[in-house]
Amino acid sequence: MLSSPWRSDFPALAVLEAQGEIYLDSAATAQKPQALINALSGYYTSGAANVHRAQHTTAERATRAFEGTREKLAAWLNVPGADQLIFTRGATEALNLLAYGLEHLVRPGDEIVVSALEHHANLLPWQQLALRRGARLVILPLDLAGAVDLPAARRLISAHTRLLAVSQLSNVLGTWQPLTELLPLARAQGALTVVDGAQGIVHGRHDLPALGCDFYVLSSHKLYGPEGVGALYGRREALAQLRHWQFGGEMVEIADYQHADFRPAPLGFEAGTPPIAGVIGLGAVLDYLLTLDETAVAQHEAALHAKLVAGLGKRRGLHLLGRPQAALASFAVDGVHHGDLAHLLTEQGVAVRSGTHCAMPLMNSLGRTGAIRVSLGLYNDGADLDVFFAALDRALEMLA
Amino acid sequence: MTIDPSALPAAAQAALAEFGAAGGWEQRARLLMSWGERLEPLTDAERSDENLVHGCESRVWLVGEDEDGHWHFRGSSEARLLRGLLAVLLARVDSLTADELQSLDVADWFAQLGLSRQLSPSRASGMNAVLQRMRDKGRERR
């Protein structure tokens, strides 16, 4: 029942299983398909080279594969031009790029608006930008389900708003955020919009132009790809407003000792040697994901998630954080410290996450010192959840 | 280096005997919880921000007194298993001098108890941070 037809495409799952481990931490980092392993080993075996520089054949081959990923990612996100995608080292770096690249647009007294549930990666760059520029950081409150409260957002997004940065899918609550309502509120005030897609990108295909944001960031390692790779999408007009932020090779057009001119996006924002193998690997992952039946994946993930939420709901004294809709669920249990639960789940070979999930302000606002998060990948089976629930019951019994 | 068990404090010898006899993770976890319950309590005033050990996923407080060159620590945590880990650590370090604290092989101690995993760098338990705090306290006094 509920068995993933794609599980065997991910060799680590069998290895972990043989060690008696169940992996339920995909929202932190996902396991990798064989297709990625083959691509990485193929690239290194057939000759590594730097991209966009040398004329030799090896470099040409690397550059073609590297730029091929940009095109595949553009197609995946329905972005009209691959040059609207900048490769970064991850979503965190993409958000930092934005906070520095857009700094010149933020004036004292301006407001930068984020939601109360943001991951530190989509909070701290804006907090620090506000501090640098004498701007104000405005926090959008949540409703009880764990989505941005729209009536409050309508009040808080104003003519002072320069920029709105929100998550698409919460990494703690598993709730989709009401972007279709939120983004137009900011746009109507002439503010820029940034969507943190680190979790959202993994679940379903998203049409970025239709979403209507100015910028969207993602990480490869949650999307079954290698670490150290991420991307920043920008609308053309929005990208044109970015100032260069990291300087060095590749991003420069002409340089003398005293001055330099820089390239436009994307290469102007990819200073230094990029993670070439990783980017090529991400391309292979996208190729692999394209071979899967999108509807079947969505149905499998939804069935797993429903089983997770229903099972958690049956445990006495257990409280879900928000009303999770996809990918993950976080919970706390009355009278039980999350650290103790995590300890006993680990002892039983269940890999979940415990703590504040890089969202300390959110935890504080929920009145929790921490929570346990269970997160799913397309390779998880219903049986993984059965093991988890058995381990959870045993742990709770020991802690009673 | 493993010390001759008979040279250890009585509580540490008891820990070695009890954890050595534990048959599996469940028994070890139950033992940890019962050891945690026997920690000398901290007062509310001692559970202060100042005594909070940073680097632990769960909150841990540590106080220490220098008694004629020998350190005596007390501590607590909001998590029960962590209190247990703290208890077996305190049993081992009780009445050590500052120099002995610096050279104590704590990984070896936890390994002897079958609790090595609790000390690995990626573990959030924070026992390494607790030991560091103990060493810092010892150093401050010199």
- Tokens 């006993």 sit at which residue? A344
**Is the sign of the CA dihedral A57, A59, A62, A65 positive or negative?**
negative
Per CATH, domain B8-140 is 3.90.1010.10: yes
SS3 call for B85? helix
B80 interaction partners in chain A (CB closer than 8 Å): 337, 340, 399
Q: What is the largest CA-CA distance in chain B?
A: 43
CB pairs under 8 A between A and B: 47
Q: Cα-Cα-Cα-Cα dihedral of A306, A311, A317, A319, to 10°?
A: -20
| Residue showing tokens 């501590």 | B75
Cα gap A319→A316, rounded to integer Å: 9
Nearest by CB to residue B81, choosing from A343, A348, A355, is: A343
Q: Specify the pLDDT at position A254.
A: 94
Domains detected in chain A: 7-31+295-399 (3.90.1150.10), 37-290 (3.40.640.10)
Task: Give the three-state DSSP class for A71.
Answer: helix
Dump pLDDT digits (tens) for B99-122: 999 998 888 899 999 998 877 665
**CB-based contact A339 B58, cutoff 8 Å:** yes
Higher pLDDT, A328 or B128: A328
- Hey, what are B82's tokens? 């962590």
Residues 91..130 of B with a Cβ closer than 8 Å to A: which?
117, 124-125
Full pLDDT tens readout for chain A, 400 residues: 799 999 999 999 999 999 999 999 999 999 999 999 999 999 999 988 888 877 888 888 999 999 999 999 999 999 999 999 999 999 999 999 999 999 999 999 999 999 999 999 999 999 999 999 999 999 999 999 999 999 999 999 999 999 999 999 999 999 999 999 999 999 999 999 999 999 999 999 999 999 999 999 999 999 999 999 999 999 999 999 999 999 999 899 999 999 999 999 999 999 999 999 999 999 999 999 999 999 999 999 999 999 999 999 999 999 999 999 999 999 999 999 999 999 999 999 999 999 888 888 998 888 888 999 999 999 999 999 999 999 999 999 999 9
A170/chain B closest Cα distance in angstroms: 21
Of all residues in chain B, the one with the smallest CA distance to A337 is B79
Please tell me the pTM assigned to this model.
0.94
Cα–Cα distance measured from residue A280 to residue A70, given in angstroms and rounded to the nearest whole number: 9
* Rounded distance between C-alpha atoms, residue A209 and residue A80, angstroms: 8
Of B26, B80, B117, the CB nearest to A337: B80
Average pLDDT, chain B: 87
CB contacts under 8 A, A 370-399 vs B, are: 370, 398-399
Place of tokens 């540490």: B12
Map residue A350 onto helix, strand or coil: strand
Reference A384, options A326, A307, A323; nearest CA is: A307
Residues of B in contact with A344 (CB under 8 A): 29, 81
Does A339 reach chain B within 8 Å, measured CB to CB?
Answer: yes
B window 29-88, beta carbon within 8 A of A? 29-30, 33, 57-59, 77-82
CA distance A383 to chain B (A): 22
Report the candidate in A358, A373, A338 with the shortest Cα–Cα distance to residue A26.
A373
A115 exposed, middle or buried (CB, 10 Å; 0-12, 13-18, 19+)?
buried
Which residues of A form the catalytic set? Answer: 358
* Higher local confidence (pLDDT), B95 or A388: A388
Eight-state DSSP code of residue B42: P
Residue pair A304/A2 in contact (Cβ under 8 Å)? The answer is yes
| CA gap A129, A101 in Å, rounded | 11
Cβ-contact B82, B33 below 8 angstroms: no
